[in-house]
Structure 1
Amino acid sequence: MSQQQTAAVKATAAANGGDATQARGALGIKSLIAVAVGLVVSQGAMVIMLQGVGIVGAAFIVPLAIAWVLALCYAASFSELALLVPRAGSLSAYTEVALGHFPAILSVFSGYVVVAMFALSAELLLVNYFLGVLYPAVESTNYVAFGILAVFTVLNLMGIDVFAKLQYVLAFAMVVALLLLGVSALSGGFAPHTYSVSKLAEGFNLGDGALTLIALAIWGYVGAEFVCPMVGDARNPARNIPRSMYIGLTTIFVVFAIYCLGALFYVPRDILTSAELPHLEYASATFGGSGTFLLAVAAVTATCSTVNTSLAAVPRMLQGMADQGQAFPMLGWLTRTSRVPWVAVLFIAGVTGLPLLVWGNDASTVGLLLTSAAISWLLAYIIAHMNVIALRIRYPNVKRPYRAPFYPLPQLLGIVGMVYAIVYASPAPELTVKIFTNAGVVLGIVSLIAVVWIKLVMKKPLFKPEPLDEIARL
């Protein structure tokens, strides 16, 4: 049997829950959709989406739809990769057989570990600030972020079953709360509209720079690929991994479209653009005082869902890297009963909490943290698209449990779209230097560490791909 045939057999067995991945089938389609939705619909995304609709009005629906298409492109690439190389390491495993060890290490640490440090910290900081504004009489809101981080760290250490049950409840509550807010705003069921449909239609103009907001809109869809490290715990992954991402991203598009358009009926666009908590202005205008409680539910569940998903997925990426020698072996250590990479979970919890200690409760740093994180994240997406192209060229005859449709159009479109989003990442000219400096310094440090590790510890070439059949055998 040839190497390609061997790899195909093992990949197919693993993708269908066979021994190659030791899949336990704890995650069904509903739980996987909850993972796809749960990280994407964060409180930071709720704020960013309202800022976008505040800048160009109802025309924001166009860049929102284009960004959804770009998100479907990365979902197609990740689905093919996850089922061809069904390993917990996710992007690092795909990249080492496509491009080599250096891009493999760079993609995970820059796209996920650094994102955990920046984006998760921003999310927790935002919930601190939000609750502090909402309940000024309560002095202990500054500790809510650390409490959330601690609770979900412990719960994730308890195992994938606990994670799955929590994630489904959190994602469902969050989506229902946002839909209730958006539908109520569109219908005007609780308070008369401040602005009419005709007034909003008059302001629909793609010539006002709406298409430049594709870069902003794509931030509302990053993270659905966090289902991929769960491939070993998924039921029928060949079917459910792709479907969960496609359904999840489409759900997100519908929810955000309703949520954004509803805001225009009540809140002036300049308030949506300039307010530190535009979603609070939105809920108060739509429901009055009772709206703050609904938004508090949506905001806290969004933050909890994001933290829960990250603490489940990113440590499993590090576990896969440790198994391949790309990271410290201790990051692959598992608990005896729940089989959770406990050192990796504690590591991600630690790097998430560190910026909170540095920046405290300063809401002005949220946008800077999120945008710096997004640049690193989109770089990981570009690498994923390149992986698909490289593996199609190197292993054209390997049977793939899932093939990205319309290849190579989604990959080429995805690469161009992500480069565009990175170029226009800065929300304001005065922040451009600071944002790209932050991202550049972090990527430079990660690159240096990766080079030293590969050359001195792994003693392997930087850009020599590993054979696919060897990865499939592990």
Structure 2
Amino acid sequence: MQDTSAGSNGTAKSAPVDRLARPTRLLGLKSLMAVAVGLVVSQGVMVIMLQVVGIAGLGFIVPLTIAWILALCYAASFSELSLMIPRAGSLGTYTEVALGHFPAILSVFSGYVVVAMFALSAELLLIDHLLGVLYPVLGGTQFIAFGILGLFALLNLMGIDVFARLQNVLAFAMVLALTLLGLSALTGGFAPHTIHAGDLVADFSLGNGAFTLIALAIWGYVGAEFVCPLIGETRNPGRHVPRAMYMGLTVIFAVFALYCLGALFYLPQDVMLSASLPHLEYARAVFGNSGNLLLAVAAITATCSTLNTSLAAVPRMLQGMAGRGQAFPILGRVTRGNRTPWVAVLFVAIVTGLPLLVWGDDPSTVELLLTAAAIAWLIAYIIAHCNVIALRRRYPEARRPYRSPLYPLPQIIGIAGMLYAIVYASPAPDLTMQIFMSAGVVLGIVSVIAIVWIKTVMKKPLFKPEPLDSVED
């Protein structure tokens, strides 16, 4: 039976043949899972997860589980949206037909471009800091950070096939290293436990702010939707895109649960909170000096995996926006051979490098700026959930290869959970005002630019949605 799709007047019409057909589609389920896992599991998240454990102890499992459920909710919304409107613009395109151009531009630039800029810079700064501690001869320079950034920008310019092969290797190595660390800590095979299981159970409590830690734990799951901008290079997207996000998030939950539980047997909670590199303290406690190498492998592959995924996905978001007139047309330029959005790749690489020049080798402001930018990321998730609700109301009969299960519960739960996470976004009360001011400045600047662009260049209303069939061709 042929699927139907609603036009701008709500009437049904024949669904077009796959609108993003390419000569070859290179990304299967394994590659998409590597994208979902590889973007989410970063070195910064490795540190954040240990901070959650440092505050809640064994009770960490509660916020970790609730955050995983919230992540599955956003995966449900992005799965429905990406397959209903399978274009490279991702969230910007979905929002354009659901809420209008202003929320569309705001969602992508504040939720992805700005966040990627700070997140990638923070990751590269952490690599510099870690290697400086492990190997002092390498410290105090930014050659490694800029070298890694330049290398992965070049590799992504070579095409999606190079990206896929790299991502599979990086994600596998990272997950393997973290799993090995967690299992070794649980079994105590390399060093005897310094903290006994009975003591951990006796100290179990949900009274140490465990529920407020949901806001911190959710950072460990953001980014799985980066598979959506790659839908044009995906084999069988209707099957693989939702599965990649659900399975990837579940793998992340299992790996982090193992990683965090193992830490409790070796590190006192105050050490996890006070150490600048608690994941390094963890690896050394389990493996001694041999843990330096394992941690270096895990951290470097995590950072490279995050960087590789962002340099593949964010430029394709910008490419899609350029094609819709929501960004400079030059960002839509692609190479002749592999159709890579080369200008957008270089743009993302450049804005990633700028904070490195400003911050130098001092990572002390990373937590503040990254948390402020992450607030914008959660706002983007709220917009995605609102998109699903708006499109279900406006186009109830539209073709949807995937439907969010139990609609509208995932959307309602997701919106409420993300709002809760934003309110409790600050891991340190004394930084709350600075964090919200920084987020406000970022969102304010993006909003002004978006308003000027829509009114003077696009000459469109700010909040008038485009017809669904206008993005189906």
Give TM class, smaller chain: over 0.9
Other structure's SS at 1:311 match: helix
Distance 2:383 2:166 in 1: 31
Q: Identity over the aligned pairs, expressed in percent? A: 72
8 Å CA contact 1:7–1:398 kept in 2: the answer is no
Residue 293 of structure 2 is aligned to residue 293 of structure 1: yes
Q: What is the Cα deviation at residue 366 of structure 1?
A: 2.0
Give the residue type in structure 2 aligned to 1:218: I
Residue matched to 1:353: 353
Question: What are the ranges of 5 or more consecutive residues in structure 2 without an aligned counterpart?
Answer: none
Distance 1:190 1:359 in 2: 39
Residue matched to 2:303: 303
Give the residue type in structure 2 aligned to 1:54: G
Q: What is the Cα deviation at residue 140 of structure 1?
A: 6.8
8 Å CA contact 1:96–1:103 kept in 2: the answer is yes
1:58-457 to 2 correspondences below 5 Å: 58-139=58-139, 142-457=142-457
Q: What is the Cα deviation at residue 433 of structure 1?
A: 1.1
Question: What are the ranges of 5 or more consecutive residues in structure 1 without an aligned counterpart?
Answer: none
Give the residue type in structure 2 aligned to 1:443: L
8 Å CA contact 1:39–1:223 kept in 2: the answer is yes
Moved more, 21-30 or 356-365: 21-30
Other structure's SS at 1:289 match: helix
Q: What is the Cα deviation at residue 156 of structure 1?
A: 0.3
Other structure's SS at 1:211 match: coil
Q: What is the Cα deviation at residue 216 of structure 1?
A: 0.3
Q: Residues 408-433 of structure 1: CA distance to partner in whole angstroms, max 9, x if unpaired?
A: 00000000000000000011111111
Distance 2:195 2:232 in 1: 50
TM-score of the superposition, structure 2-length normalised? 0.97
Distance 1:223 1:26 in 2: 21
Q: What is the Cα deviation at residue 205 of structure 1?
A: 0.2
8 Å CA contact 2:334–2:341 kept in 1: the answer is yes
Q: What is the Cα deviation at residue 5 of structure 1?
A: 6.2
Other structure's SS at 1:144 match: helix
Residue 42 of structure 2 is aligned to residue 42 of structure 1: yes
Give the residue type in structure 1 aligned to 2:308: N
Give the residue type in structure 1 aligned to 2:181: L
* Root-mean-square deviation over aligned CA pairs: 1.2
Distance 2:139 2:456 in 1: 50
Other structure's SS at 1:322 match: helix
Distance 1:427 1:160, change over 3 A: same
Q: Residues 341-378 of structure 1: CA distance to partner in whole angstroms, max 9, x if unpaired?
A: 11100110011110000001112122112211210100
Moved more, 363-372 or 415-424: 363-372
More helix by share: 1
Distance 1:232 1:56, change over 3 A: same
Give the residue type in structure 1 aligned to 2:452: V
Count of residues paired in the alignment: 467
Distance 1:324 1:22 in 2: 19
8 Å CA contact 2:64–2:253 kept in 1: the answer is yes
Q: What is the Cα deviation at residue 161 of structure 1?
A: 0.2
Q: Residues 40-74 of structure 1: CA distance to partner in whole angstroms, max 9, x if unpaired?
A: 00000000000000111010111000000000000
TM-score of the superposition, structure 1-length normalised? 0.97
